[in-house]
Structure 1
Amino acid sequence: MNIVLAPHACDPAHTRGRRWPVAPDATRSDYQRDRDRIVHSSAFRRLEYKTQVFVNHEGDLFRTRLTHSLEVAQLGRSIARSLSLNEDLVEAVCLAHDLGHTPFGHAGQEALNDCMRDWGGFEHNLQSLRVVDRLEQRYPAYDGLNLTFEAREGILKHCSRRNAEQLQALEPGGVGERFLLGHQPSLEAQLCNLADAIAYNAHDVDDGVRSNLLTLEQLAEVPLVARYLAQVGERYPALKGDAALARGERRLLYETIRRMLSDQVHDVIATTRAAVQAMAPASVDAVRRLPPLVAFSPAMRADVQQLQQFLFGKLYRHPQVLATMDAAQQVVRELFAAYRGDARQMPARQAEQARAAAGEARRMRVVADFIAGMTDRFALREHERLTGRRLLA
């Protein structure tokens, strides 16, 4: 089925292009090529062993950054198709949005940001851009993946003014400019941000119950989950309650999450369609000068915020999770200290980059890049090699 793009959708025929021109491909659009370059990158493969909430060794069925990115891409494409947006660009951005995440999830980022506080800090969105712009080394003519402007714009969903100014100095009129002007990214990029939130809320509910850190009784107190639990329990009474989970019956939870996902998707589509019709942007550039258009309805947004608050208090701040994250942060800090003290402890390429770096800030950025690229299990092995201790068994 041929999909007709809306006039405000990103059209690969009118892309703002790549930093290094490449010849057109005979069978793929520029955004399809972006997606393919991302999927074949080393950073994308490493997402398989990077934490979402639970550290890699804690179980084979918990989400990782890779499975999360795939779920975000699936949701993003579904919504994009209904809104006549560019599915290929949405998929590319969704698959790449977490490439800059450290091992051990947000705990690793916090630790690395603290280590880098005197040298510009660390932020995973900016690091994702750094990965696709510089750190991937696959092509003879340039560093990075040389993605289109639109893909890079979508990957950089947050940016401080200081970092935006630095990006603007290196690339005038580039991906940092919108943060200085107060503009929005494309609708495809806005959609990826919301698909990310929909995905991680749903799978954190699933993983939280799977880990026995959350119960259905607790979830029944959260309006967004409670109404679907009630619907499923009424429709399938044999599946009702925690007793069903205790005997290995998970269909109640799966069906609840399925309905919750579907309603959020339908809500986003309806709300965004109404906003686009009201604002009537005639082009992608017009979209950038408007307020955000991809959104939940006010009622759904309130419900989602309540769920996020619940997950923060009951799952992300659960003592078991905090204990693991404390140990994970110690791993990151001690790795940083070891490499800062002796760059030769890193592989030859990174050690040479650190030796040749002009100034302390650039040398520490080499260390941060190396640590940020690690998987959970590689970071643990490196920490054990350098310290003789294994903090997470």
Structure 2
Amino acid sequence: MKTTTADLALGAAERLYGVSDFYDAESLLTDDERRVLARLRDFLERDAKPLLAGYWERGEFPEQLTEPLIHLNLMEPAELTVHGPARGIYQGFRIFELARTDASLATWYTAQAGLFRTTIRVGASPRQQQEWMPRVLDFSLKGVFSLTEPESGSDIAGGLSTTARQEGDSWVLDGAKRWIGGASTADVLAVFARDAADGQVKAFLVDCQAPGVSLEKISGKTSLRMMQNAHITLDGVRVPEAMRLHNVNSFKDVAAMLRAMRSDVAWIATGMQAGAFEAALAYVNERRQFGRSLGSFQLVQEKLARMLGNLTASLSLVVRLTEQQERGIYRDQDSALAKMQTSLHMRQTVALAREVVGGNGITLDTGVARFHADAEAVYSYEGTHDINALIIGRALTGESAFTR
């Protein structure tokens, strides 16, 4: 008896992810969580997907999607807050769903819901959190994580050169930040700078409109073209002491943020695999060559199986990592392993998707080309492969192999 895609996806009408979630990780979600995610999917399918190819090609972000996305109230949906904050598994699948549609949309949303929210949760004092967190959740205070610099990416721990000098009840910041996604639409920048007095890293919420702050769009990108990344210059920018994040007093505090943030990127890398795999599967089942469906060829089926294997392994990895973090277990090597391995799987999966789609895989018609190009940015940000491998190696051997 011939097995069809419909057979493989039995129950897909009642499940969100069907064949992409081969081991049914979705079963870990509650009914309420699935309803919220279904609402997100409806919006993405109806309003977002038709716009993506055009905006990607122009290198512009579809700003008309931001307010509707915010109004979906995905960070702490009303349906889920009756029994407490949204669970990590739900939050992971929220990222997965966004990335399954588009990497730039996922990156834009997690810049607020992941990076900036984590910055406030980890770095702000209880009083600051009480003031700022409600505004973070409803996007009335939009912020971005501003750590990377023009000359320091992987070596930011030792190479961070933006300076902070205290003068009375305020601080003066000088330096530059680069590759800061979403800065052009943010209200504040979470800027990390080295205190001139003690050499330790501090963090500040800097008003984007403050004197001395200038933002320049980074153009000429071949990956994450929709995402607006900025080069930021800080020239004698004054920041009140009240806007310093009081729980950030060394790079160890920054590392605690990165430990949590990398799991978000692993979910993005996993969701992108689902998007590329689904697009490729749909294409090969419709496209005919030599009088047959492409999906009927042995070599194509082998590539589909490898893609699904990569995706299933990645989804299993991020689900388990999230379960660990929900128990309060946050280790550098755990998030580093997830980011490293899901990114490796993602790179192979999107390449295989582009391969089975053939010449049409380099056009924007199927979505495969977007995933293929955007994967290169996700592969590098929030820790390159090599940096994450060294974090894992240090945990395994007790020896640091980082260059000093």
Q: TM-score, normalised by structure 1?
A: 0.25
- Structure with larger RCO (C-alpha < 8 A, sep 6+): 1
